[in-house]
Copies of this chain bind each other. A is one copy, B any other.
Amino acid sequence: MAKETIQKKVFLEIVQQLRQLIQTEKIQAGEKLPSERVLSERLGVGRSSVREALRSLELLGLIETRHGGGTFLATTHKHQLVEVLSMFILEDERSKKDVAQTRQIHEKEAIRIICSTKEMRTSPVWESFFVKLEIEGTVNCRDILREIMITSGNRLALKIWFQLAAYDGDRLNRQSTEDEKIMIQTLLKSLELGYQQEALKAYGQWMKHLDNQGGVKRGNT
């Protein structure tokens, strides 16, 4: 038979073609994609196949859909990616530890990079955080770590970090306590001066402190 019938997964073909379409039509992030029905007709496939492709891309966070509104190229990359992965692969207690550990791997590396790069070290944000901490006595823990990740300049690592940070967000997205003030200030100052050893040490103490507080929500002392 000259059938051959190689037919490789239509919905994967569609993912490819969508990408081409985005390129040729020069669709920018945040802009609207053709409707499912239009895509279906233009690509010569059924609407359900188009949807399978779109849903996949949505799970990856590459597109956003608004019911009744349309489909849009994603602006912020908030893939469910790691979340979904961890949902399937890492379900036990140990895996939560893996998530925290992996997150800290990226944070530590970011600190190393910042300390050894003049332009990053001398960013005014460290000073501003330091002052804010001095005046208000507290800052948002997640904000500092995010700023560290952003400054280090690796976009992929940043995306991965966002996912990991979202995962154990409860422990991270909160105001710092009095106990942490000195550790955070040491970290910030060391960053600014490029003292890598000091910075990592302060960071390590801070994380240890966080771990000790655990998931337990303590109202106050």
**Which A residues are closer than 8 A to B by beta carbons?**
11-12, 15-16, 19, 22-23, 48, 51-53, 55-60, 62, 77, 80-82, 84-91, 95, 98-99, 101-102, 105-106, 108-109, 154-157, 159-160
Report chain B residues within 8 Å CB of A101: 154, 156-157
Residue in B closest to A99 when the chains form the complex, CB atoms: B156
Question: 10 closest pairs, A vs B, by CB?
Answer: A98-B156, A56-B59, A52-B55, A105-B109, A56-B56, A102-B157, A62-B88, A102-B156, A98-B154, A19-B87
Stoichiometry (number of copies): 2
Measured between C-beta atoms, what is the minimum distance from A114 to chain B in Å? Answer: 14
Measured between C-beta atoms, what is the minimum distance from A86 to chain B in Å? Answer: 6
Expressed in whole angstroms, the Cα–Cα distance for A30 and B109 within the complex equals 36
Report chain B residues within 8 Å CB of A155: 89-90, 95, 98
Report chain B residues within 8 Å CB of A87: 15-16, 19
Measured between C-beta atoms, what is the minimum distance from A65 to chain B in Å? Answer: 9
Q: Which of B52, B88, B159, B160 contacts A22 (CB 8 A)?
A: B88
A19 and B156 contact, CB distance less than 8 A: no
Measured between C-beta atoms, what is the minimum distance from A59 to chain B in Å? Answer: 4
Report chain B residues within 8 Å CB of A84: 15, 57, 60, 62
Report chain B residues within 8 Å CB of A86: 156
A157 and B105 contact, CB distance less than 8 A: yes
Report chain B residues within 8 Å CB of A82: 156, 160
24 contacts between A and B (CB under 8 A): A12-B59, A19-B87, A22-B88, A23-B91, A48-B48, A51-B52, A52-B55, A56-B56, A56-B58, A60-B81, A62-B84, A77-B89, A81-B81, A82-B156, A85-B156, A86-B156, A89-B159, A98-B157, A99-B156, A101-B154, A102-B156, A102-B157, A105-B105, A105-B109
Report chain B residues within 8 Å CB of A102: 154, 156-157, 160
Report chain B residues within 8 Å CB of A98: 154-157
A156 and B22 contact, CB distance less than 8 A: no
Contacts A105-B106, A105-B109, A109-B105; is A90 near B156 (CB within 8 Å)?
A: yes
